[in-house]
Structure 1
Amino acid sequence: MDFNRVFIVAKKELSDNITGKKFLMLLVLFSLVVGIGAFSGISDYYNVLEEYKSGSSDIYLIPPTPVIVFGSISENIGYYGFGAIIAIALGFNLISGERESGSLKSLLSHPVYRDEIINGKALGGLISLLFAETIVFAIVIALMLISGIVPDLNSSGKIFVIWLLVFLFLAANFSLALMASSVCKSSSTALVVSLVVLFVISYLFPVAGPGILGSVILGDEPKTLYSNDMSSMSASEIQQYSDERQEYMEKEKDLSNLFSVFSMQSVFSDMIRPLTRTSSYLVTLKMEGRDDTYLLDTEPSVFEIFGMIWTKLFALLMFPVIFFGIAYVKFMRLDLR
């Protein structure tokens, strides 16, 4: 593989993207999604600041930071799936579109190998996403400064981490679309397959999986004790039931967490929350008895928060690796006759 040819293909793909009408439409949509989240986030920041100053809430125990602005933005991109749709829209016809037009055969007739084409197209698409994301983040920071919200060094570091996580989330969904585009012969089929796979792994599987397999894996749930039953039970029997019930609930939670690893949305949201909702996240850790390191009246640094989410980061990185791996193998074996 010649990296010079890879970069040539990537440059051509990037040029086609940023000069095309589809990219412009997606950039406008991306800006609207992020802009709406930014206005909501700025309002949230000032509301939280007022609650913290008044001491009317037990949740906001550390001073609010400008990173709160990116809470609503991240929800629009990840939880509500707008970021996934934008990334899929950019990549679903990357290979299938050229197969339909016949340009892929013409491209392969030139002195360029298949691995250089698939790597170059993937690289060009990812740079296009990075370009679009950087533009909209710059718009958000401009809105923050206009609103009088100036991030300090620690907040700036967290914003950079959020920027990186958003890019990885977009890259994962783009790789999903690239995989579908390599597997399917038509762009319309690739789009449908991308959305179906996204729905299954991000919404259906983590929600329905624990419910369907819970009784099979965990067994029957301990029976609920009614008041007339408890009157005839000893204290040791009541304690035994309480222990069994607590153990079952913990196993149920562990099973739900296991299935959530297969959801890009869930993994992304779990990583963003400690950055944008730091105070409530620390309170949750305190309630679960897990915060033996972080004090509730101290804002964790970027590195401390990174230590909380590094396992989720590994899971998020696996999605683009797996999807691109499938796309790569399929494209290398593609029959163009």
Structure 2
Amino acid sequence: MSGVGTIFWKEMADYFGSKRFLVLFIIICLTGISVAYLAGRNLEGFTHIPSQYLLLGFFITSAGSLPSFTFFVSFFGPLIGIILGFDAISGERSRGTISMVLSQPVFRDSLINGKFLAGILTIAIMFVSIFLIILGLGIWAMGFVPNLEELSRIGIYCLASVVYVGFWLSLGILFSILFRRTSSSALTSIMMWIFFTFFIYMIANVIADQIVPIPAVTTPEVLAKNEAIRRAIVRVSPAALFEEIATAALNPSVRAFGFVNPEELAGLIPTPLSLGQSLMVVWPEFVGLAILMLICFAISYIVFMKQEIRSL
């Protein structure tokens, strides 16, 4: 592990000294903050949120024709991770610097570990900065400070955002190892983003309808089986897992996902869930998202360590 710190700080300096990254950072900050600000101007539209959690509405309420901040993160967050990771190794190859780096007293695992850790910290800094600014906008607009539970829910959502984008970072690093050309790595990463963001939902609907067709006159049991199959397929997508985590963390009224029998809804007391109860709802999704990120990085690590030096 010798040299992890050296690689880490070198990557951090490269990220924050890069005009490409700074422009990306500014665009993402301005776009995300603008969406939250416009949503905050429509305070009366926060009717879907319990009154004691109004500040959370800045994150999950759409601003007119614009989508919500959570949708913005779910849709564009993967591009951040891909941009940070798609040339992590292939870029070093194309510049001819990877052999020079490994000829120094730096172990091969230190190179990939340092790049991954630097990418994760960069993503964390980006999201914490955006969330703090939105939090400040919320306090200014609402006129009061959030309670501890609101801050905890926002913190959980921020952590989930970092893990979610971290998955795409690790995926970008994996493809940068598998492909020698940076363009191939970028295109493959974007294709995976398109598949997990769009096509997985279409495929899930088709398969669910083939296994459990929904007739014109149906029953709640048939609808529940169809939805269970659809959700089981969709949950392969990190985007679907992240959306569920964000929804449960930022909206205490959410008790379950998928099809719920109307008879079961009739017996529920319409009170918001506590933070612990909301975590119980999405704990499997959060663990699953983290495991996907770690598995993807572990594959990257193994492949990189097994490559011959001359192939690098």
Give the TM-score, by structure 2 length. 0.87
Equivalent of residue 37 in structure 1, options 25, 35, 38: 35
Gapped runs of 5+ residues in structure 2?
61-67
Question: Residue type of the partner of 2:166?
Answer: A
Paired residue for 2:305? 332
Answer with 125-134 or 33-42: which moved more.
33-42
Gaps of 5+ in 1: 52-58, 226-241
Match for residue 161 of structure 1? 156
The 1:201–1:138 alpha-carbon spacing in structure 2 relative to 1, beyond 3 Å, is same
Does 2:284 align with 1:289? Answer: no
Contact 1:67 1:275 in 2 (8 A): no
Q: Residue 70 of structure 1 aligns with which residue?
A: 59
**Aligned residue for 2:63?**
none
Aligned runs of 1:166-315 on 2, under 5 Å? 166-212=161-207, 214-215=209-210, 217-218=211-212, 221=213, 223-224=215-216, 245-279=219-253, 281-282=254-255, 287=262, 289=264, 295-297=269-271, 299-315=272-288
Where 1:155 maps in the other structure, the secondary structure is helix
Residue 143 (structure 1) aligned with residue 137 (structure 2):
yes
The Cα of 1:201 is off from its aligned counterpart by 2.7
Distance in 2 (CA, whole Å) between partners of 1:210 and 1:223 is 15
Instruction: Give the Cα separation in 1 of the matches to 2:266 and 2:193.
Output: 34
- Residue 47 in structure 1 maps to residue 65 in structure 2: no
- Distance of 1:222 and 1:142 partners within structure 2: 48
Larger Rg belongs to:
1
Give the % identical residues.
23
Separation of aligned partners in 1, 2:13 and 2:87: 16
2:5/2:114 contact within 8 Å kept: yes
5 Å matches for 1:9-20? Answer: 9-20=7-18
1:175-232 CA distances to partner (integer Å, 9 max, x unpaired)?
Answer: 11111111111111111000111222332123213404642x44xx36546xxxxxxx
Compared CA separation, residues 290 and 332, structure 1 to 2 (3 A): farther
Tell me which of 262, 279, 289 is aligned to 1:316: 289
Instruction: Name the SS for the 1:300 alignment partner.
Output: coil
Q: 1:283 to 1:250 in 2, by over 3 A?
A: closer
8 Å contact from structure 1 (residues 48, 64) kept in 2: no
Distance 1:181 1:139 in 2: 33
Matches within 5 A, 1:96-107: 96-107=90-101
Residue number in structure 2 paired with 1:228: none
Which digits, 9 at most, give the CA deviation of each residue in 1:123-142, with x for residues without a partner? 11111111111221221122
Partner of 2:160: helix, strand, or coil? Answer: helix
Q: Distance in 2 between matches of 1:75 and 1:90?
A: 21
Instruction: Determine if contact 1:83/1:170 at 8 Å carries over to the other structure.
Output: yes
1:105-164, Cα deviation, whole Å (9 max, x unpaired)? 111111222111111111111111111112212211222222235211111111111111
Structure 2 counterpart SS, 1:151: coil
Query: 2: CA distance between counterparts of 1:145 and 1:247?
Result: 45
8 Å contact kept, 1:261–1:315 = no
**Contact 2:12–2:122 (CA under 8 A) maintained in structure 1:** yes
Distance 1:122 1:42 in 2: 35
- Between the two proteins, the alignment pairs up a number of residues equal to 300
In structure 1, C-alpha distance between the alignment counterparts of 2:307 and 2:250, rounded to whole Å: 44
Check the 8 A contact 1:178/1:327 in 2, yes or no.
yes
Residue in structure 2 matched with residue 122 of structure 1 by the alignment: 116
- 2: CA distance between counterparts of 1:171 and 1:283? 26
Let me know the Cα RMSD of the aligned residues.
2.4
**Residues 37-75 of structure 1 deviation map (CA, whole Å, 9 limit, x = unaligned):** 21133134x1245x5xxxxxxx56665421111112111
Moved more, 198-207 or 133-142: 198-207
